[in-house]
Amino acid sequence: MLADEDLVDCGLFQERDYSHRNWQAFPIPPSQIKYLLLTRSHRSLWLIPKLVKEGFSGDILLTPASKELFPIVILDSAKMQEEDAAFKKKRHDKEDRKGPHPEIPLYTAQDARKCFPLMKAVPYKRNIIS
């Protein structure tokens, strides 16, 4: 059973109606989270660099296969964050307007790399919660 200070997945809201949530503070201070259990290397990890940037320093528990994929997926996501922020800034400057969110990436490739030392591969069928 997971404890109050544990988190399962940390995905990015992609839907337009919910994307504002990506900019909000986490409901639990990241520094109070002990473990992040990652169920797969896909959308469920796209907000982890923001979590780390805001104070998470616990273990990211994931399968060995997910640990191999994590850097590829998260660095690609960081690149998209950076490119999207630059595009929005350019468009907003051209249109002389401001958007609802800052024209900066939620996280950068540098932020994403700070997640790598926190990753702990856990083999399948191993009890991780005592």
Give 46: exposed, middle or buried? Use CB within 10 Å, 0-12, 13-18, 19+.
Answer: buried
Q: Looking at residue 44, what is its pLDDT?
A: 66
pLDDT in single tens digits along all 130 residues of the chain: 445 677 777 777 777 787 788 888 888 899 999 898 888 776 667 889 999 999 999 999 999 999 999 999 999 999 999 999 999 899 888 998 888 888 899 999 999 999 999 999 998 888 776 5
Domain ranges across the chain: 6-11+31-121
Q: Looking at residue 6, what is its pLDDT?
A: 78
Q: Looking at residue 37, what is its pLDDT?
A: 86
Q: Looking at residue 17, what is its pLDDT?
A: 82
Q: Looking at residue 1, what is its pLDDT?
A: 42
Supply the pTM of this predicted model: 0.84
Annotation: CATH topology of 6-11+31-121: Metallo-beta-lactamase; Chain A (3.60.15)
Nearest CA to 8 out of 130, 129, 113 is that of 129
What are the residues whose beta carbons fall under 8 Å from the beta carbon of 123, sequence distance 6 or more?
A: 63, 64
Token pair 């469920």 is at which residue?
44
